[in-house]
Amino acid sequence: MQSKQLSKTLSYVLRHRPEELGLQLDAHGWVSVADLLRALQARDASVTREQLLAVVATNDKQRFALSDDQTLIRASQGHSVEVDLALPARTPPEVLYHGTATRFLNSIRNTGLQSGSRQHVHLSADADTARMVGSRHGQPVVLTVRAGDLHRSGAVFFQSANGVWLTGSVPPAFLQEPS
């Protein structure tokens, strides 16, 4: 299996559908590397441990994390299945960014940013990263999130292993569109 295809497969299985490979994530989203490799091989995807570790190490978005002893793997964030990533609450910077497509702006103006089928809203520390994320969904627009004010109003923030900021939702009052 090519690295890009393996990365997409890992994202799908570790974030959304572990049962499709006969896997069950633990409460914190971890699954055994050995079980994952066996499940992939059972699906005619000959993936070696070395290939898997290379995809984890070289993924440009650092979407995956390995346990310290490299026997467990999980997605860093973006789950639609219920997991507790056991991330400590953190104080966010005053400003974060969210990349989206322009076609979603009317809905966002009305309801703010919602996690939808995922557990959290994803926010970026820089506008360039947010723009890249938004461009995956169409004509991108980068919204500025007044994260410091939102945090002071009671919202809880987390930061995943790959630097993505996570929160439950962002009401419209805390969003600013580009001028």
Within this chain, do residues 32 and 64 fall inside the same structural domain, yes or no?
A: yes
| 79 token code pair | 């789950």
Residue 85 in this model has a pLDDT that exceeds 90: no
Number of domains in the chain: 2
- Whichever domain contains 101, its CATH number is 3.20.170.30
Q: What is the pLDDT of residues 10-44, one digit of tens each?
A: 999 999 999 999 999 999 999 999 999 999 998 87
Residue 133 lies in a domain: yes
Task: Indicate the average pLDDT of the chain.
Answer: 92
Cβ–Cβ under 8 Å, residues 77 and 115: no
pTM: 0.76
- When pLDDT is cut at 50, 70 and 90, the band that residue 142 belongs to is very high
Going by C-alpha positions, the residue among 152, 151, 149 that lies closest to residue 166 is 151
